[in-house]
């Protein structure tokens, strides 16, 4: 049997292996939906990677949890350089041992963009799902994507034009949250007792998914909440963070409830929300909840970010609409007095109607595609790479 024939047979009988790297809570959420979509199309596929409990529950062998990876900000990264180097070494070793034919990178650009060239030079095909926000900062990173990504899958409608302008072909697969939330059915039992006659409005507090975010944001939120003790303030706890972290910051004289594992039910019943900048701003908008977006970080990291980030807004809502629909309180502006004033403003019917109109346009721009299904289809339809007859050991 000739070499080419034997190689062709090897390609036909090869069991496809996919390695996925998601380093944050949002990546775990989108990664889990992607894993489910891949398994629906190819039940016997072997999936391994980095993520969290959701990806593990969907059927991915998670070998590194995102809760051990979330270093946010320039100063924090410098402080944790030793751990980050160990993570890179582990990734290279684990990918080498697993011998995937595809590596799927999900967001998490600080890590993934550095690992990407190494993976591609090993002859492994590469997919970037949820593209790094190179349109916001370090646009030179487009060159890395052009050289080392085989398939770029984007979830924001304006990204295809941006990447096309820079010579990178990108496919808009829709936003995974749009389909997920459109099909979500809230638990009616969650709302029992909420919003009863005479009771104050329910205000959702989403202080972030990282420990340092919660420590920076939640005390200010609680200080603002204390100015409306009769309202029902409900905090969404990040599943990767301990309950004690929140309890220690909740004052006893305010009507505050800690919600665990029920963020979507909370948003379905909330009249307003205070949301830390990130994916949660878009989730809140898709549930139709008027919100104020907040961010407060390390002053040095923020000063550096201001010099390198080239965007007018920090919330996905405003970025997609390209206008300031929702108020953003950043750094010093994120204080109890300003926050209380903005939440009060969200209770005004005229303001609420304007925000709802903007949310309607946002949903139209995102469309109705099932992003996870579209992404899975493109990943599985890509041609297999050549398999070395020696067994293809990676080093």
Whether residue 366 contacts residue 179, with contact meaning beta carbons closer than 8 Å, is answered with: no
For 104-155, what is each residue's pLDDT tens digit? 999 999 899 999 999 999 999 999 999 988 876 667 789 999 999 999 999 9
Whether residue 176 contacts residue 374, with contact meaning beta carbons closer than 8 Å, is answered with: no
For 22-46, what is each residue's pLDDT tens digit? 998 889 999 999 999 999 999 999 9
Angle in degrees, 0-180, between the axes of helices 81-98 and 109-121, rounded to the nearest 10: 40
**Closest C-alpha to 371, from 182, 150, 187, 186:** 182
Q: What is the mean pLDDT of the chain?
A: 87
pLDDT band at 11 (very low <50, low <70, confident <90, very high): very low
CA–CA gap between residue 210 and residue 71 (Å, rounded): 9
For 86-95, what is each residue's pLDDT tens digit? 899 999 999 9
**Closest C-alpha to 233, from 262, 208, 207, 204:** 204
Question: What's residue 68's pLDDT?
Answer: 79
Q: Greatest CA separation found in the chain?
A: 83
Residue 48 CB contacts under 8 Å (≥ 6 apart), including other chains = 17, 18, 19, 20, 60, 61, 63, 94, 98, 100
pTM for the structure as a whole: 0.80
Quick check: 391 pLDDT over 50? no
Whether residue 322 contacts residue 357, with contact meaning beta carbons closer than 8 Å, is answered with: no
Domains of the chain: 3-174+369-381 (3.40.50.2000), 182-366 (3.40.50.2000)
Whether residue 313 contacts residue 324, with contact meaning beta carbons closer than 8 Å, is answered with: yes
For 43-88, what is each residue's pLDDT tens digit? 999 999 999 999 999 999 999 999 877 554 444 545 556 678 889 9
Instruction: Give bridge partners of residue 274 from the DSSP assignment.
Output: 205, 292
Whether residue 220 contacts residue 334, with contact meaning beta carbons closer than 8 Å, is answered with: yes
How many of the other CB atoms lie within 10 Å of CB of 67?
19
CA–CA gap between residue 187 and residue 189 (Å, rounded): 5
Quick check: 247 pLDDT over 90? yes
Tell me how far the alpha carbon of residue 364 is from its chain's centroid: 21
Instruction: Give bridge partners of residue 48 from the DSSP assignment.
Output: 19, 61
How many of the other CB atoms lie within 10 Å of CB of 242?
11
Quick check: 171 pLDDT over 50? yes
Whether residue 156 contacts residue 320, with contact meaning beta carbons closer than 8 Å, is answered with: yes
CA–CA gap between residue 155 and residue 157 (Å, rounded): 6
Question: What's residue 310's pLDDT?
Answer: 64
For 328-384, what is each residue's pLDDT tens digit? 999 999 999 999 999 999 999 999 999 999 999 999 999 989 999 999 999 998 765
| Tokens coding 49 | 């990677």
Q: What is the mean pLDDT of residues 184-209?
A: 81
pLDDT band at 206 (very low <50, low <70, confident <90, very high): very high
Whether residue 18 contacts residue 104, with contact meaning beta carbons closer than 8 Å, is answered with: yes
How many of the other CB atoms lie within 10 Å of CB of 3?
8
Question: What's residue 394's pLDDT?
Answer: 42
């Amino acid at each position: 049997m000739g070499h080419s024939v034997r190689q062709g047979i090897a390609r036909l009988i090869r069991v496809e292996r996919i390695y996925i790297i998601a380093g944050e809570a949002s990546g775990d959420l989108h990664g889990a939906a992607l894993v489910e979509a891949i398994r629906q199309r190819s039940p016997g596929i072997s999936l391994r990677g980095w993520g969290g409990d959701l990806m593990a529950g969907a059927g991915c062998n998670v070998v590194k949890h995102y809760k051990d990876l979330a270093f946010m900000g320039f100063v924090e990264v410098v402080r944790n350089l030793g751990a980050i180097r160990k993570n890179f070494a582990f990734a290279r070793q684990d990918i080498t041992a697993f011998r995937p034919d595809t590596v799927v990178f999900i967001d998490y650009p600080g890590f993934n963009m550095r690992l990407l060239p190494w993976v591609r030079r090993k002859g492994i095909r590469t997919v970037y799902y949820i593209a790094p926000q190179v349109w916001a900062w370090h646009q030179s990173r487009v060159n890395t994507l052009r050289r080392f990504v085989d398939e770029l899958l984007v979830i924001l409608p304006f990204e295809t034009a941006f990447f096309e302008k820079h010579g990178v072909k990108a496919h808009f697969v829709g936003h995974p949250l749009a389909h997920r939330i459109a099909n979500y059915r809230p638990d009616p039992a969650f709302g029992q007792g909420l919003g009863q006659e005479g009771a104050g409005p329910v205000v959702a507090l989403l202080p972030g998914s990282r420990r340092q975010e919660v420590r920076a944001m939640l005390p200010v939120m609680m200080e603002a909440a204390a100015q409306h003790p009769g309202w029902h303030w409900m905090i969404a706890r990040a599943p990767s963070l301990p309950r004690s972290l929140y309890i220690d910051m909740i004052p006893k004289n305010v009507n505050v409830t800690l919600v665990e594992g029920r963020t979507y039910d909370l948003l379905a019943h909330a009249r307003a929300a205070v949301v830390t900048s990130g994916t949660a701003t878009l989730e809140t908008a898709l549930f139709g909840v008027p919100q104020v977006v907040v961010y407060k970080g390390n002053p040095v990291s923020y000063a550096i970010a201001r010099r390198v980030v080239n965007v007018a807004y920090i919330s996905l809502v405003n970025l997609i609409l390209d206008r300031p629909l929702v108020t953003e309180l950043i750094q010093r502006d994120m204080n109890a007095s300003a926050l209380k004033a903005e939440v009060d403003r969200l209770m005004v019917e005229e303001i609420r109607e304007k925000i709802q109109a903007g949310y309607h346009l946002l949903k139209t721009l995102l469309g109705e595609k099932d992003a996870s299904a579209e992404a899975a289809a493109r990943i599985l339809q890509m041609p297999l790479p050549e398999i070395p007859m020696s067994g293809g050991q990676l080093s």
